[in-house]
Amino acid sequence: MSDLSSPEVKDAKVRDKKSRLEKVILTSDREGGANSSEPLKALLPFLLRYPYRLGFTALFLLVAAFAALAIPFFCRQHY
């Protein structure tokens, strides 16, 4: 009887995920190049596993963009 939590099964799952991702990355250059959204679509299942991390990442990117624009605006000298 096989154990689904055995290291061999976990390694096989990891190899399968890596090979699928590598396939998308390698074929994206030939099938669509920079204009194709297929590589991002392939990452979506991995990103959706961590919704809070994804949300906080988007929030902090917006805060950083706002700070990059606001700090020079408020620090400039008025003559």
* Angle (CA) 30 34 39, round 5°: 75
Q: Where are the domains of the chain?
A: 7-75
* Angle (CA) 37 40 41, round 5°: 85
Cβ neighbours of residue 31 closer than 8 Å, sequence gap 6 or more: 38
Please list the rounded mean pLDDT of every run of 10 residues in the chain (79 residues). Answer: 65 72 62 71 89 96 96 80
46 is written with which tokens?
């991995």
Q: Is the whole-model pTM more than 0.85?
A: no
Map tokens 């689904």 to a residue.
Answer: 4
What proportion of the chain, given as a percentage, has pLDDT over 70? 68
Kindly report, residue by residue over 54-68, the tens digit of the pLDDT: 999 999 999 999 999
